[in-house]
Amino acid sequence: MRRFFSKKRRIVMILIWAAILALRTTAWLCAPFCDWYVAHVLPIWLNTYGRLSGLFPVSIGEWMLYLAALLVFIALVLWMVWLPAHMVKRRKNSVGKPEAAGGKARSRFDTAVLRFYQSAAWIVTIVCLIMTLNCLIFYHCTPLRDKDAQYDLEELIALRERIVTNCNRLSECMTRDSRGEIVYDGDMKEKAVQSMHALAEREGMPRLEGYYSRPKPLYASWFFCQQHMCGYYFPFSLEANYNDMMYIMNFPYTMCHELSHLKGYIYEDEANYLAYLACVGSGDEVFEYSGYLNVLYYVENDLTDALTQRGEMERYALLTPVKEQVYIDNVYVTSEQWERVQEQSPLDTQFVSDVTDSFLEANLTMNGVSDGVVSYSRVVGLLLSYYHEAG
């Protein structure tokens, strides 16, 4: 460590890691601190480098991921190739043997490698600090609502009927092309930002006020299709990103979902809930349809599970049927786009999907979300709570 860093740099790095540890410990123990941080400190980051990253038309966070992958690859190669040679060289020098010819060149190379690892150590430190400030603290904020409260079956049926009725109605209002696919004439990114501002005013939620960067499409959307991911929030650049190879009806909901993360609502069920409210209250039929469509799966699953457990599955046949067009519109990626994904990707889709699921499960569980990716479906509890209070 002493040879690796100067004394001043060691002190700075130790202080940064002490700050990271202090912040994470405080976050785990004190929800009011997290609430205060998101309300008063996060806006500072959004209005400084969040605005700066927002000036770029491409996703800065996405390219940072690819750069990180490249640096990790280089570090591993150097570790496997350079380190053994370096250790052999040190053993020779320790017994007084002269260096091989070209020793000066190797010495310069050794210096370059050490500087690379020094830089890598700083990058890891800064990344951990940014992840703490722009992501991990959010996990310990006070929940929006009691998502685990119990509601009776009739309320769940009423919620399902509301969503299905609106899906059926809106499916007939869409403008479609010759293939029957929905088209949108407008600036969807700007509308998503406007919908979030309208939600903040309508529901009296000051955390949703203020600056939003416009959602950005992911350059390698084919790769994110293989992960079955609709969008990403990048803490390193404070950007909301969406997969632009999805079917259009996923765009409004995903944009609002990722913009919710931008304001510190990091739990997936809460971001789903806010995206739903933003979309259905937007005054735009495409956004409304997207909102209803994207929670239909969760509500249908919860209802059929509840009816099955009670032995009352026959009641489902008495409910409003979902129109065929709704099922057609409620698709993640069209078959044509899937073909493009398979053509563009050098990776196996099942492998990418399995790795992503494992990573998400571990990440959510590590941050206190005990049910991992299943937490996405807890949006149903939040919606039941919302409509229960609304009467």
Judge whether 57 lies within some domain. Answer: yes
Judge whether 108 lies within some domain. Answer: yes
Judge whether 89 lies within some domain. Answer: yes
pLDDT band at 371 (very low <50, low <70, confident <90, very high): very low
* pLDDT reading at 205 higher than 80: yes
* pLDDT reading at 94 higher than 60: no
What's this model's pTM, rounded to 2 decimal places?
A: 0.85
CA distance 188 to 91: 64
* pLDDT reading at 349 higher than 80: no
Judge whether 263 lies within some domain. Answer: yes
In the chain, what percentage of residues exceed pLDDT 70?
82
Residue where one domain finishes, among candidates 114, 140, 166 = 140
Judge whether 278 lies within some domain. Answer: yes
Residue 170 shares a structural domain with residue 113: no
Looking at residue 101, what is its pLDDT?
Answer: 43
Name the domain count of the chain: 2
Looking at residue 372, what is its pLDDT?
Answer: 40
Judge whether 64 lies within some domain. Answer: yes
Judge whether 148 lies within some domain. Answer: no
Judge whether 219 lies within some domain. Answer: yes
Residue 117 shares a structural domain with residue 250: no
Residue where one domain finishes, among candidates 85, 117, 140 = 140
- Domain, as residue range, for 293: 153-390
pLDDT band at 269 (very low <50, low <70, confident <90, very high): very high
Residue where one domain finishes, among candidates 113, 140, 167 = 140
Looking at residue 104, what is its pLDDT?
Answer: 46
pLDDT band at 102 (very low <50, low <70, confident <90, very high): very low
Tokens of 198: 């309208």
Looking at residue 51, what is its pLDDT?
Answer: 94
pLDDT band at 145 (very low <50, low <70, confident <90, very high): confident
pLDDT band at 119 (very low <50, low <70, confident <90, very high): confident
